[in-house]
Amino acid sequence: MKSFVICLILILPAIVLGFDCKGNVDGVYDVGCKVFVQCINGAENVVECPVGLVFNKNTKLCDLPTRVPAPCGNVMDCSNKKDARYADLTKQCTSYYTCNGGIYFGHNFCPGGNVFNEKLQTCDWKYDTEPPCGTKTT
């Protein structure tokens, strides 16, 4: 579990660094189900939702998953899954969710029309990803 938390701490800045408030109007922008960015005068303020809460696009606040629309409101069953990221097939693989220690850690979204590649554990081009998420043939 400690290694997963450390991994999240290292990955989180990389995810958020991909979002730049310069050129965006002041407001709240979602980065994933657990994190959002507040833009104020071109500066980013990264907010991570507390454990048990997810970002609600409608209210622009952290909220209970039961009050949040899909995909962030979907609580996936991780009780029998290995520690990994999994493509969300209900969203045509444009998002993925993380399981660790049998616990669901939320959804994240793939940028720019990419899909989740379970083999590589990252978002990838559809043509470089094997079915059911992509079109790559072996």
- pLDDT tens for the chain, residues 1 to 138: 444 443 344 344 434 446 789 888 999 998 888 889 999 999 999 999 998 888 999 999 999 888 888 778 877 888 899 999 999 998 899 999 999 998 888 788 899 889 999 999 999 999 999 999 999 987
pLDDT at 6: 39
Residue type, 29: Y
Residue type, 51: V
Contact 56, 62 (CB under 8 A): yes
pLDDT at 95: 92
Domain 1-64 classified CATH 2.170.140?
yes
pTM over 0.75: no
Q: Where are the domains of the chain?
A: 1-64, 76-138
Identify which of 87, 88, 36, 42 has the alpha carbon closest to the alpha carbon of residue 57: 36
Reply yes or no: is the peptide bond before residue 111 cis, omega within 30 of 0: no
Is there a shared CATH topology between the 1-64 domain and the 76-138 domain? yes
Domain 76-138 classified CATH 2.170.140?
yes
CA dist., res. 136 & res. 131, Å (int): 7
In DSSP terms, 63 is beta-bridged to 54
Q: Provide the phi-psi class of 106: left if phi over 0, else alpha when psi is between -120 and 50, else beta.
A: left
